[in-house]
Amino acid sequence: MFRQRFNLFLTSASLVIALMSCTGHYKIDGVVETIGYEGRELSLVEFLPFRITKIDSCVVNHGRFQMEGNADSTRLVFLCKEGRPIIPLYIEKGHARVSLLPTEMTVSGTRQNDLFYNFLRKKIEFDNLYEDMSQKRVSMARSRVDFRSLELIQDSLRMIVEECEDMICSFMADNYDEPAAVGVFMMLSANPTTEVPSLLRRILDAAPDDFLNEPYVNGYANRISYERN
């Protein structure tokens, strides 16, 4: 009887340890189809004020790479090639997949990475649409078309900007409590300025206190002397 109970204890303990070992574990599988990566070191680097931390690294082998380790918290890092940032990604519990292709570089498979890159995909669509319309406007101006046609193009450009900003604000409103929202805010506020752009003011004015208290957001707000209306 004692031996049976002892064996049951060992089995239960082993199960608990196995479950604990799976808690907070990240795995990253990557595929590379871009020239210049084979045999090169890729690393996960966290860039914080006054501190840069290299978290993990590996070498690209036959167009593939893999990294894994503990993820006790969700962290925004950069995938770097020999120390130079390539793309941002979130280290978090789960299995993420990185694609470094000639046409795009994406991360998918975990919640924050899916949120961030789905947003980025929509933003790029708006950016491309705006660029195409801008080129059309330049071409029409060179062709000396009538002023009314140029006005219509300009109206279309304004509509694209408004729709893009509405998309951004809608994403933020739905995800203020997600780490991905901080990453999006970091991307939008990357250009230094002494004034608060109207889009960022919309985001900050609508943000809950928890979002405003995030270290990066709080630092940005203090830097540009933001005050909620």
Domain CATH for 65: 2.60.40
Predicted confidence at residue 175, as pLDDT, reads 98
pLDDT, mean over the chain: 86
* CA gap 26, 188 in Å, rounded: 27
Mean pLDDT, contiguous 10-residue spans, the chain (229 residues): 36 34 80 95 90 94 96 93 94 97 95 97 95 86 74 90 96 97 93 78 96 93 85
- 117 contact partners, CB below 8 Å, separation of at least 6: 106, 107, 108
Coil vs helix vs strand at 8: helix
Q: Does residue 8 belong to any structural domain of this protein?
A: no
Q: Which domain holds residue 64?
A: 25-109
C-alpha count within 13 angstroms, C-beta hemisphere, residue 157: 15
pTM: 0.83
* CA gap 228, 40 in Å, rounded: 47
Last residue in a domain, options 109, 134, 163: 109
Predicted confidence at residue 158, as pLDDT, reads 93
Spatial contact of 116 and 109, defined as CB atoms under 8 Å apart: no
Q: What is the pLDDT of residues 133-175, one digit of tens each?
A: 988 887 877 777 677 777 888 899 999 999 999 999 999 999 9
